[in-house]
Amino acid sequence: MRSRIAADRLRDLQRITDAALAYLPLETLLDELLVRVVEILGVDTSALLLLEDDDTTLVARAAKGLEEEVERGVRIPVGRGFAGRIAATRQPVHILNLDEAEVVNPLLRERGLKSLLGVPLLVEGSVLGVLHVGTLTERAFDADDTELLQRAGDRAALAIFSRLTERERGLADALQRSLLPRLPQLPAVSLAGRYLPAAAARLGGDWYDAFALSDGRLGMAIGDVVGHGFHAAAIMGQLRSGLRAYALDGMPPGEVLERLNRLLRQLEPGRTSTIVYLVLEPHGGLLTVATAGHPPPLVHPVDGDARYLELPSSVPLGAARHVLYDEQEFELAPGSALLLYTDGLVENPGEPLDAGLERLRATVQRGDEDLERLGDAIVDELLPEGPGNDDAALLVVRALPLSDTLLAQFPAEVESIPFMRRLLGRWLDEAGATAAEIDDLSLACAEAAANAIEHAYGLAPGVVELRASASNGGVAVVAVRDFGSWRPPRGTHRGRGLLLMEGLTDDVEVIHDDEGTTVELSRRIGEEAA
């Protein structure tokens, strides 16, 4: 008889949880569940506590007859008190007389509870939280009561787990999308990035970023905030914004990290993060690096073996108050690939770190020219079974070798000028021009571009095209073309622009046609070398 009553009660419970699962918001579902548990078990209170992301604290999320528990945001350390013991042992706990038990939460006594029964919320062997009921008069809960409460707890756990993972996944996706940068498009530089969330859909703190600095150089960073969950993800977002802000203000890498260290200690004392920040000058391939305890970037030179950059040991951001982050300089010749990564890519449980590093090195060594395919190959090779327990991030960059004839288009905006100048500088360098010739021609080209931008288009968006070629006789011809309507230069500094073009090159020709205007600059190059 008793077991049929129990079976009826369970069916009741099942109905409410199953129906609720389909459409109720999680909070409403839990409330409904607790109401039912109170009714079916004939108790005075019920409460549900969930484990925080850090796995050390239970927080009251829903309650019936004990609403203050939620209102006060009661927090119980795992392992202590009634609920803490249930979470720690993963076993039901029954207290017949509260007066004789250790209890952390003063509310239970204030409310005048006498007997308590609690069960863990378990999913796939891990604890999600605790469900407990209480009575104002002494009650000896029996095995049926415990089983019923455990069944209710299991249903709640499943519902919570699916909602949490769904919500976390949704949020993780949204956060990931919003925090992953749109990689900049620079002429003759190719970039590819990958972010792999951890298997358990827990948010991680890995991130990367790449952006064009206003002087035409490329800034790149990758970092790993210690910890998991939304909080770590939020800090990662703040660090990323901080880094960009300092970098765009023109600070060198070491100083950027020093400021980020102060920022992190201010925002979040006790939290640490590794990071490496690099600035690449595509012309000449000068790479300036500062690192804060991050695994070293990997370089694959165009005609050599892939190797890790040798960087001095350093402390992570947040670990010490006054830290000086040194800068190291390297050469990244055109065609070479540079790879930044986080430890989630190379760390495997039960394997020394060196094995993962060597596997990454070997993969890059025989890797594809195309960076998107190289990125895919690295993920396939290093994480063959999909994401592990940790998230992982990856950023690859390559300064592409330039062809004999340079051809590139830029938005007709002042901000394009430094990029044009540097691209032309790089091409002239490869064509054998001396440093002074590069300076002169780049400046003349910038003046021609400024003319086009200021006078050809007015306020309408347009394009400026840069062409460069060198004859066998060692004469470089640089053409800057716009597709707007010609108007004579106005203002004295444009007049000086023409004066500079003439003074810095051997010949300047301005050609108007139906489509626009071309300024052609010629200059003999390689004179000192000849």
List residues binding another protein (CB under 8 A).
Answer: 214-215, 249-250, 414-415, 417-418, 436, 439-440, 443, 446-447, 450, 492-494, 496-497, 499-500, 503-504
Q: Least distance in Å: CB of 439 to another protein? A: 4
Closest distance to another protein from the beta carbon of 450 (Å): 6
Nearer Cβ to another protein (259/271): 259
Residue with Cβ nearer another protein (440 or 465): 440
CA distance 86 to 100: 17
Nearer to another protein, 123 or 251 (CB): 251
Nearer to another protein, 168 or 447 (CB): 447
Integer Cα distance of 340 and 181 in angstroms? 15
Q: Least Å distance between CB 525 and another protein?
A: 15
CB of 334 to another protein, least distance (A): 22
The per-residue DSSP string of 107-127 comes to HHHHTT--EEEEEEEEETTEE
Where is 151: in which H helix or E strand? Answer: helix 143-179
| Residues 137, 114: Cα–Cα separation, whole Å | 6
| Nearest partner of 263 among 327, 220, 317, judged by Cα | 317
Length of the chain: 530
The DSSP code sequence of 380-435 is HHH-TTS--SS-EEEEEEEEPPP-SSEEEEEESSGGGHHHHHHHHHHHHHHTT--H
Of 44 and 440, the one with the shorter C-beta distance to another protein is 440
The DSSP letter of residue 369 is S
Residues with Cβ within 8 Å of residue 225, at least 6 apart in sequence: 205, 206, 207, 232, 233, 235, 236, 239, 271, 272, 273
Task: Return the number of the residue (248 or 320) whose C-beta is nearest another protein.
Answer: 248
The nearest distance, CB 339 to another protein, in angstroms, is 28
| Least distance in angstroms from the C-beta of 369 to another protein | 33
Cα distances (Å, whole numbers) of residue 438 to 214, 416, 500, 523? 20, 18, 14, 10
Smaller CB separation from another protein, 356 or 462: 462
CA dist., res. 30 & res. 50, Å (int): 11
CB of 414 to another protein, least distance (A): 5
CB of residue 493 to another protein, shortest distance in Å: 4
Q: Helix crossing, 492-504 with 435-455: angle to 10°?
A: 150
Q: How far is the CB of 395 from another protein (least distance, A)?
A: 24
Q: Which is nearer to another protein, 107 or 417 (CB)?
A: 417
Closer CB to another protein, 130 or 443, in the complex: 443
**Three-state SS for 215?**
coil
Bridge partner residues of 210 (DSSP): 220
